[in-house]
Amino acid sequence: MQEAMIKRAKELLADGSVDRVIGWKRGEFTYDITPAVFTSAEEIDSDFVCDDFTAANVSKYLVKETQKEGKVLAFLKPCDTYSFNQLVKEHRIDREKVYVIGIEGGPKLDIEKIKAKGITGILSVKNEDYTLRIETIYGTQTMPFYEAVLDKCASCKSKKHVVFDELIGEDGDVLDSNRFEMVEKLENMTSQERFDFWRDQLSKCIRCNACRNVCPACTCENCVFDNPKSGIDNKAPADSFEENMFHIIRAFHVAGRCTDCGECSRVCPQHIPLHLLNRKFIKDINELYGEYQAGADTTSRAPLTDYTKDDCEPSVVHERGVE
Amino acid sequence: MQKISKAKLYELFDDIASKQTLYIPTDREAGAAEYRKYESGMKLTKELNTVRSAKDFFFPQTENLAEFKIDGKNIEVRDIREECEDFVIFGVRACDAKSFTILDKVFLCEPVDSFYKNRRDHGTVVTMACKRPAETCFCKTFGIDPTVPGGDVSCFDDGESIFFLANTDKGEKFVESISSFLEDGDTDKLMEVQTRAREIMGRLPLAKLSTENFGGDKLNEYFNSDKWAELSEACLGCGTCTFVCPTCQCYDIKDFNTGHGIKRFRCWDSCMYSDFTKMAHGNPRLTQLERFRQRFMHKLVYFPANNDGEFGCVGCGRCLAKCPISMNIVKVMKALEAK
Amino acid sequence: MQVKENFEPVIVAFCCNWCSYAGADLSGTNRLNYPTNVKIIRVPCSCRVNPMFILRAFQKGADGVIICGCHPGDCHYTSGNYFTRRRITLLYSMLDFLGIERNRTRLEWVSAAEGAKFAATMQQFTEDVKALGPNRRLEDLRCRKQ
Amino acid sequence: MNNDTLIPKIGVVTDIRQDTPDVKTFRVIAPEGGKVFEHMPGQCAMLSIPGVGEAMFSITSSPTNKEFMEFSIKKCGCLTEWLHAMEVGQQITIRGPYGNAFPVEGDLKGKDLLFIAGGIGLAPLRSVINYVRDNRANYGDVQVIYGSRSKDDLVDYQEIIDEWMADPNIEVNLTIDNPQEGWDGHVGFVPNYVKELAPSTSKTVLVCGPPIMIKFTLAGLKELGFKETQVYTTMELRMKCGVGKCGRCNIGNKYVCKDGPVFRFDQLGELPDEY
């Protein structure tokens, strides 16, 4: 697929259809891939990469890119197309300035999961028929491909591109995923158990803001947590309350807009399962206000900017089974 | 050298912990280690290093500086400092141990930061030599030998025993205090382990990375480099690199109104944040390019310019592993060097 | 959770200016009692209540937070309380998900004519929160009074 | 434990003077009377209202004033709005002094001095001017060129009229940006006025004002034949600690709070253009 992408990117650059290409750039090692903008065929030839580690969602970069002159070619995986659509819907991306090529999605690999197996000194990772052959300074190791798949890919919601100008490879379908499994498991715990679970997780937070800054739904020019006049601006979780507040408010601010792309959990240096908060909102919205997938289209009203006269009362929360 | 058999190590930990607080690196989950207060039954991690650096012990993410009581027009300032209790950090890697000396240059120069000094005075750093460096390691670039890790006491693991070597007075005292657990040991095997580790260091992917093109005299050369735009393009402006970095020491001072007083605290801050230098009348670092440049210029040029050529990086590799977009100091160094 | 002998909770009530605040007023003029634990914050409309307000109330020492607005369909601004309903339902659900006791939060529709309902609601809510004891799970330790 | 510079002292505001529509000058003393600490002209102090914020302000009074310190503060942000809302008797917190000072006891001694200020930029220079006036024998000619948007925006106008202009030992040239009723002085921007006055190049210049004014003034001075080594200025960037540790006020490897705020232009020229 990488060859086809490079070929197409160079064609489109050469005939002037696009001025820039946004994709991924090779790093020092086999896995440290950086999103990058390419402007020439030479750059693409030497650095462009699309492989098992190109998990980064590039759609948020298009907010800045479409503010510049000229047209940009973006390679979007199915999950990225949802984020892209949502940003178009919110008028953050100028659709006219982007040429979207849909590419096949994951599953992509999580280097941290490989390292968690005690594998270190990694020189290369090769997928040989769904067994990873990992060359290291300390010799060759193998592990099953599926044990190293990113969490966000393991619970993939859709292989369908909701927006594209052309496709490389096949388009897939919306999947019947198990993505709410963990949310359900937590819902069935007692309140104390849930509290302990989240305290344990959120206490790891170092407030690096990676989750916020990578999130394609977080595109505010000035975040409420950076605004000294909001009264809640803070740079460090000085108290457990602030850890909770940051994540509750952040999840709330993207509720109904979060496409469940899973980037927040992918980038968290402390492995906090932040996507569970977003999924809880998605699950609630689906159950209480009807199925809704943010980013699936650019026209429907978002659940939190909409209402019906016979919506349920908040007392549904109090009437749930387990306390 | 004095040693203890690995089988008896936890007995030693129990003993140390009965006298003062002991912190050891332990697994929080597979692949993620952190320093925790030792309690019986806790096991040392097999990971090379912790996710967060050890700087927290001396420069915690948040700490209270003072308290204020406000009564009408009057303010009362309360000095809430207390003498810190003695503590021991076990298993610090050479890179982190070196980071303390870099932090010392900032916090212990005049005017001395008493909050930092208080902790530094009461903490004993027991380091552990590296045997299995990771591909992201490049401490050698900054002149660190991870097989001789420094700190107050250096520890070496030859597979069967842990050897203790005191480097400072504080270290001597510590080794003295645990002498009943130690016996004299033969270091032949240890030398083998060391030689092998050094040999691996030489084969690491980043082994050839050098600082020769960097230093305090390179300010104008690199500040105006046209590489910054490309390098900073993908930067998210998050603070992951700064917060996992053992040498990043920028902080913010903030007030919190508790409803019955004001707590003034300081917390880590990141030069990558958009409001880091924002003032009422403007911001000298308006775009991510300037902020990104600041971080790397500080480590590679400004810091050595102010500190006799010492670099503000120890090559621990945390930013390589943790940056959400995998942009890091190694890529920056290589890009700037390329003519 | 252990309930302290003489624990008196702090209840923050966000009341919409047009209905519930007037309802509170009416309960006062009718000399109906409601607990002094309740601190009323008047808001122009229940949909003015930002989720942050609720969290901040807990941070600064509230043990329970109740939002009162016009009955659905009666909003002074036509549809404000419909948005409130969705928003607050989701927020309460999220707080529940994080393990915050669900009886610390409530939403009630109280009209300007329902002075008695206001007093009864506050009475009941205060009792419920009292039974839960002090807010510990969503507390800012720095704000705790020594 | 020793005193830590980060733990502030108390200052009492004993006088508040409305200088211009958006500048007030605050007089601060220690609760027990006298100054909270000694300083040199050009140095700064961290003022704060706990719960609101803390910021760096230059000390506008001269060190020769042994009774109090003064701060001229323009209302432009969160903290300054609070400071402007203060009443006499209010306590604030204060720590310092921070930064270097104008070399009044070094390179400036015996020299002819030219002060060029724009708007609130007079605040740090006023400290030097009054210091020089009180140690008049140590310095040569003294000339002050000061401009503002309007007559109302001239900080410390009363002191300028009553004391400086009445002082035969210094020459004061005032200017305002636009003509105004009741103003018969010079009208025009400071950089142009400097060129018109064409001061002797033997003078050492101390300049402070908005960045754009400094830029054009420096260019004008160079045209007149001044060298960069003759011109001093004072900088301001966002600061938190005041002692070169919090890491945000650096220009290149120099910290404005510690190595500055006073820089000579040739020193500044060696630093990257990031301020």
pLDDT in tens, D97-152: 999 999 989 888 889 999 999 989 999 999 999 999 999 899 988 999 999 999 88
Contact B135, A123 (CB under 8 A): yes
Is A195 in Cβ contact with C142 (below 8 Å)? no
The yes-or-no verdict on residue D182 having pLDDT over 90 is no
Q: What pLDDT, in 10s, does the model give residues B304-323?
A: 999 999 999 999 999 999 99
Chains C and B are in contact, defined as 3 or more C-beta pairs closer than 8 angstroms: yes
Nearest-Å Rg of the Cα atoms of chain B is: 22
Pick from A180, A244, A246, A281 the residue to mutate for testing the C interface (most C CBs within 10 Å): A244
- The pLDDT value given to residue A319: 81
The yes-or-no verdict on residue A236 having pLDDT over 90 is no
- The pLDDT value given to residue C8: 92
The yes-or-no verdict on residue C2 having pLDDT over 70 is no
Among D50, D253, D274, whose Cβ lies nearest the Cβ of B284?
D274
Whether C91 contacts chain A with CB within 8 A: yes
Q: Which of A306, A271, A315 is CA-nearest to residue A285?
A: A306
Average pLDDT over all residues of chain C: 91
- The pLDDT value given to residue A305: 92
**Who has greater pLDDT, C144 or B23?**
B23
Q: How far apart are CA A243 and CA A253, in angstroms?
A: 16
Average pLDDT over all residues of chain D: 91
Amino acid identity for residue D173 in this structure? N
pLDDT > 70 fraction of chain D, expressed in percent and rounded: 100
The yes-or-no verdict on residue B293 having pLDDT over 60 is yes
- The pLDDT value given to residue C1: 46
> Confidence band (pLDDT; 50, 70, 90) for A229?
confident
Residue C62 makes CB contacts below 8 A (sequence gap 6+) with C10, C11, C12, C39, C135
- The pLDDT value given to residue A207: 92
Is A235 in Cβ contact with B267 (below 8 Å)? yes
Average pLDDT, integer, range B64-81? 93
Average pLDDT, integer, range A242-268? 93
Which pair of structure tokens corresponds to residue B114?
Answer: 């008493």
> Confidence band (pLDDT; 50, 70, 90) for A322?
low
The yes-or-no verdict on residue A317 having pLDDT over 90 is no
Average pLDDT, integer, range D62-83? 92
Average pLDDT, integer, range A6-21? 94
ipTM: 0.91
Residue B160 makes CB contacts below 8 A (sequence gap 6+) with B5, B6, B189
Q: Which residues pair with A24 in a beta bridge?
A: A35
Among C79, C91, C102, whose Cβ lies nearest the Cβ of A318?
C102
- The pLDDT value given to residue B339: 65
The yes-or-no verdict on residue C88 having pLDDT over 80 is yes
The yes-or-no verdict on residue D93 having pLDDT over 70 is yes
The yes-or-no verdict on residue D169 having pLDDT over 80 is yes
The yes-or-no verdict on residue C146 having pLDDT over 80 is no
Among B28, B254, B325, whose Cβ lies nearest the Cβ of A56?
B325
Is A36 in Cβ contact with B52 (below 8 Å)? no
Distances (CA, A) of D4 to B56, B266, D243: 20, 14, 11
**Which chains contact B through at least 3 pairs of Cβ atoms less than 8 Å apart?**
A, C, D
- The pLDDT value given to residue C31: 92
Q: Collapsing DSSP states into helix, strand and coil, what is residue A70?
A: coil
Is B238 in Cβ contact with A212 (below 8 Å)? yes
Q: What pLDDT, in 10s, does the model give residues A43-85?
A: 999 999 999 999 999 999 999 999 999 999 999 999 999 999 9
The yes-or-no verdict on residue A1 having pLDDT over 50 is yes
Pick from B230, B238, B252, B272 the residue to mutate for testing the A interface (most A CBs within 10 Å): B238
Is A307 in Cβ contact with C86 (below 8 Å)? yes
Burial grade of D137 (CB within 10 A; 0-12, 13-18, 19 or more): exposed
The yes-or-no verdict on residue B262 having pLDDT over 90 is yes
Do β-strands A34-38 and A20-25 pair in parallel, antiparallel, or remain unpaired? antiparallel
- The pLDDT value given to residue B75: 93
Distance from CA of A181 to the nearest CA of C (A): 14
